[in-house]
Amino acid sequence: MTPKEAMHLAIAEGKKGAGFVSPNPLVGCVIVDRDFNLLAHGYHARCGEAHAEIQALNAVADKSRLEGAHVFVTLEPCAHHGRTPPCAEALAKLPIQSVTYGLLDPNPRVKGQGAALLSKAGKEVSEFRELHNELEELCEIFLINQRRKRPFVAMKVAMTLDGRIALPSGSSQWITSAESRAQVHYLRGCYDAVVAGVGTFLRDDPKLNARDPRWADKPHRVVLLDPEGQAITKLEGSQLLKVRDPSHIYVVSQAQKPSGLGVHQLQVEIQGGEFEPSALMQALQAEGLQSLFVEGGARAYTSLLRAKLVDRLFIFIAPKVLGEGLVWLHALGVESIDQALCFQDVRVTTLGNDVFCECSGLRG
Amino acid sequence: MTPKEAMHLAIAEGKKGAGFVSPNPLVGCVIVDRDFNLLAHGYHARCGEAHAEIQALNAVADKSRLEGAHVFVTLEPCAHHGRTPPCAEALAKLPIQSVTYGLLDPNPRVKGQGAALLSKAGKEVSEFRELHNELEELCEIFLINQRRKRPFVAMKVAMTLDGRIALPSGSSQWITSAESRAQVHYLRGCYDAVVAGVGTFLRDDPKLNARDPRWADKPHRVVLLDPEGQAITKLEGSQLLKVRDPSHIYVVSQAQKPSGLGVHQLQVEIQGGEFEPSALMQALQAEGLQSLFVEGGARAYTSLLRAKLVDRLFIFIAPKVLGEGLVWLHALGVESIDQALCFQDVRVTTLGNDVFCECSGLRG
């Protein structure tokens, strides 16, 4: 196994924790013996449980093979006592030869300290020089949380080839294929909460839960963006309340209203008819929501895009046309083509007969 | 080489004639010896020149190896004297063992007669049982011409992720990447004429020629759809006229106007403000235009889609959003999601940072 193969495998391992590790990062670890034969791999599976390094170490059956072994881990091993003891200390005690990490931990409680601790213990420590984009992508939620001090924002749009998300009547069931809808149910669970505007809630009475068996034991948190406070009185009897615990519902409004339902009500200031974006982000992060999956409607999409608050965009495009209906964005203040908001790094595939397009955040 | 590999290669050969064979079909041919070693391949390169079978035969250096050889050709060999002598006769005279063709020629002057002639001459003749979709796609222009008695209609749309083809001002340069635009210049040449609505002509003063070196010696035919007869007086001094011979310009209107420019003026009846679609198709086919590449605008797209006159759709999607602007379709009369016009067989890839999506015609 080459170092690159080892780090690739560590990244693939790390991804297995998606949806369960918040507010921690996704981390994967691979251990190879002195001759670079694979010894073990592991990943951080759930917040509060063992980190990736410890999972990998536990998977080494014959500990004698750790003599001179090499550890590849996607993120610098932690040096602080959090929910679990520091991984750098655990590694320092072992007869391993080297530790290669993918990214330096941006968390100021760790940054460089894990590496220093290992180095001091005589291990060869280095930051991996390749796969940088893949490593950053694995860690993207955590990196946005740490660097921007706000939740990560993913946006999902389901539209036709002529850019319609619904007929003029609001009807949109179903524009996309069963395969696309299954993918949405998977993606919902990858984030801490699904976010929808009050218009979508009032019109569609959606469940917005993650109906994928992988999320069976995960709470289905949902955030309703409700600037005018129309949602609270409509929650009783709604599908939203039926399929989840009220404590997993967050209604964001300008003012709180008595509800007696046990849902969270967050107060966020309004500016020009919309929530002040950074206040909204702060309020949601203060509730422990480190990543958001925004499903519309146009008002929510537009207000977040205007504030450049989008870190990943998923667009499902059904190969059909409606000719008229709702579009997914309102005016952004773009006055010439070169002012268009541009996304980065497009990936595209098909899902059933739909096009599934994924972009990373806005350029610039 | 297996029969399937031979037919695959024949299809790939046939594609090389794209843009040059109209009104003939694209055809490719592969000859293997008695032991299925590749002997030669060929394709129909240009209308009036040798057919694929003859090109392949000419490429066999050692004719003695034709003894017991097998011929794979994408379309049934012709049996009639057209611009060239019948291929079936040429093959019948050779000591080959078998002829496998991809599709039966739908042309009533050929259909089954080429196969019968070869069979009568003692050759094993059979229709190939695999790669049916690939074979039909190679031949799609010819098949639509023969089966529907009208030109093949390809449509090209260049839009943003929010479905906009231009800003409210009409500005659209450039929504898509240089790679996408290069692909458009290639695609234009694959068809007999580029088609644009008068609105696009008046607003953009476009060249609409195929600026790809592969089409250097091909006439750049263009059709202007001009229901109200606004184009003729604006042609003088236009880019359209500057970059091409006037005899390659076709202006379709309800009534002819004196122009003195030497352009073709076609008269087509108007119904409900738009050209009667089948009359439009007949008028264009009567001019020898067997395939059209429609580049907009919304009025042209909508009127053709309403009449279900689209056989292939190319959509270039730039990973950017404008928030407002022109859309590419007007109302189609769709009243519920299940009435949406659905395209078939989606293929998708990236071109630069754009998404390039290709669909075959409408379903049903």
pLDDT at position A14 is 98
Q: Is the pLDDT of residue B269 over 90?
A: yes
Among A27, A102, A114, A99, smallest CA distance to A69 is for: A99
How far is C-alpha B301 from the chain's CA centre?
17
> A110 near A76, Cβ under 8 Å?
yes
pLDDT tier, B257 (very low <50, low <70, confident <90, very high otherwise): confident
B349·A350 Cβ contact <8 A: no
Supply the mean pLDDT for chain A: 95
3-state secondary structure A306-348: HCCCCCEEEEEEECEECCCCEECCCCCCCCCHHHCEEEEEEEE
CA distances from B53 to A185, B42, B76, B80, B128 (A): 53, 7, 10, 14, 16
Note whether B185 and B319 are same-domain residues: yes
User: How far is Cα B125 from Cα A103, in angstroms, rounded to an integer?
Assistant: 64
Based on the fold, state whether residues A134 and A159 are members of the same structural domain.
Answer: no
**Domain CATH number, residue A333:** 3.40.430.10
What tens digit of pLDDT does each residue of A212-240 get? 999 999 999 999 999 999 999 999 999 99
Q: For the domain that residue B115 is a member of, what is the CATH number?
A: 3.40.140.10
Q: How many residues are recorded in chain B?
A: 364
Domain shared by B160 and B133, yes or no: no
Cα distance between residue B8 and residue A358, in whole Å = 33
pLDDT score at A108: 80
> Does A139 lie in the same domain as A102?
yes
Q: Which amino acid is at B83?
A: R
Q: B171, B312, B322: best mutation site toward chain A, by most A Cβ within 10 Å? A: B322
Range of the domain at B316: 149-362
Q: Give the chain A residue nearest B313 (alpha carbons).
A: A319
Answer yes or no: is pLDDT of B363 > 90: no
How does pLDDT run across A52-66, given as a tens digit for each residue?
A: 999 999 999 999 999
Q: To the nearest whole percent, how much of chain B has pLDDT over 90?
A: 93
Give the CA angle between residues A177, A173, A188 to the nearest 5°.
Answer: 65
Q: Which residue of B has its CA nearest to A356?
A: B348
Does the pLDDT value for residue A364 go beyond 80? no
CA A116 from chain center: how many Å?
A: 29
Q: Which of B327, B333, B336 sits opposite A162 (nearest CB)?
A: B327
Residue A84 has pLDDT above 90, yes or no: no
Residue of chain A whose alpha carbon sits nearest to that of B356? A348
Distance of alpha carbon A110 from alpha carbon A358, whole angstroms:
32
pTM above 0.90, yes or no: yes
Active-site entry in A5, A49, A53, A295: A53
Kindly state the tokens that stand for A350: 């098909």
What pLDDT does B259 receive? 85
Phi-psi region of A355 (alpha: psi -120 to 50; beta: other; left: phi over 0): beta
Using a 10 angstrom Cβ sphere, with 0-12 exposed, 13-18 middle and 19 or more buried, the burial of residue A218 is middle
* pLDDT value, residue A109: 75
Last residue of a domain, one of B140, B158, B179: B140
Is B321's CB within 8 Å of A341's CB? yes
What's the confidence (pLDDT) of residue A343?
A: 97
Q: What was the pLDDT predicted at A113?
A: 93
Last residue of a domain, one of A143, A177, A194: A143
**Tens digit of each residue's pLDDT (9 = 90 or more) over B123-155:** 999 999 999 999 999 999 999 999 999 999 999
How high is the pLDDT of residue A259?
Answer: 85
Tell me the mean pLDDT in the region A280-294. Answer: 98
Integer Cα distance of B143 and B140 in angstroms: 5
Q: What is the pLDDT of residue A324?
A: 95
How much is the average pLDDT of B99-127? 92
Residue B171 with chain A: CB contacts under 8 Å: 336-337
pLDDT for the residue B81: 82
Which of B346, B349, B351, B356 to mutate against chain A (most A CBs within 10 Å)? B346
Residues A185 and A334 in one domain: yes
Answer positive or negative: Cα dihedral of A181, A183, A189, A192. negative
Residue in this structure with the two tokens 């280095």, named with its chain if needed:
A126
Closest Cβ opposite residue A342 in set B159, B320, B328: B320
pLDDT, position B82: 79
For residues B215 and B339, state if they share a domain: yes
Return the closest-CA partner of residue B325 out of B202, B196, B159, B203: B159
Percentage of residues in chain A with pLDDT exceeding 90? 93
Q: With 90 as the cut, is the pLDDT of residue A197 above it?
A: yes
For residues A166-194, give the mean pLDDT. 96
Same domain, A256 and A355: yes
Q: Which one of A320, A330, A337 has the shortest CB-CB distance to B172?
A: A337
**B80 falls in which pLDDT band (50, 70, 90)?**
confident
Please say which residue of B93, B123, B140 terminates a domain.
B140
Looking at the structure, tell me whether residues B214 and B80 fall in a common domain: no
Q: Which two tokens stand for residue A178?
A: 């069963």
pLDDT of the residue at A238: 97
User: What pLDDT band is residue B73 in, cutting at 50, 70 and 90?
Assistant: very high
Instruction: Answer whether B71's CB lies under 8 Å from B53's CB.
Output: yes
pLDDT of residue B215: 96
Which residues face A335 on adjacent strands? Answer: none
SS3 content of chain A, % helix, strand, coil (to 5): 30, 25, 45
Strands (E) located in A66-201: 70-75, 98-103, 124-127, 152-160, 164-166, 193-197
Does A171 share its domain with A264? yes
pLDDT value at A110 more than 80:
no
Q: By CA distance, what is B328's nearest residue in A?
A: A162
* A351 and A203 together in one domain: yes
Work out the percent of chain B whose per-residue pLDDT is above 70.
Answer: 100
Question: What was the pLDDT predicted at A363?
Answer: 87
At A102 the pLDDT is 97
Question: Does residue B320 carry a pLDDT above 80?
Answer: yes
Please check whether residues B153 and B129 belong to one and the same domain. Answer: no
B122 with B72, same domain? yes
Domain count, chain A: 2
Residue A214 DSSP SS3: helix
For residue B297, whether the previous peptide bond is cis, meaning omega lies within 30 degrees of 0, is: yes
Confidence of residue A300 (pLDDT cuts 50, 70, 90): very high
Annotated catalytic residues of B are 53
Nearest to A32 by CA among A79, A97, A78: A97
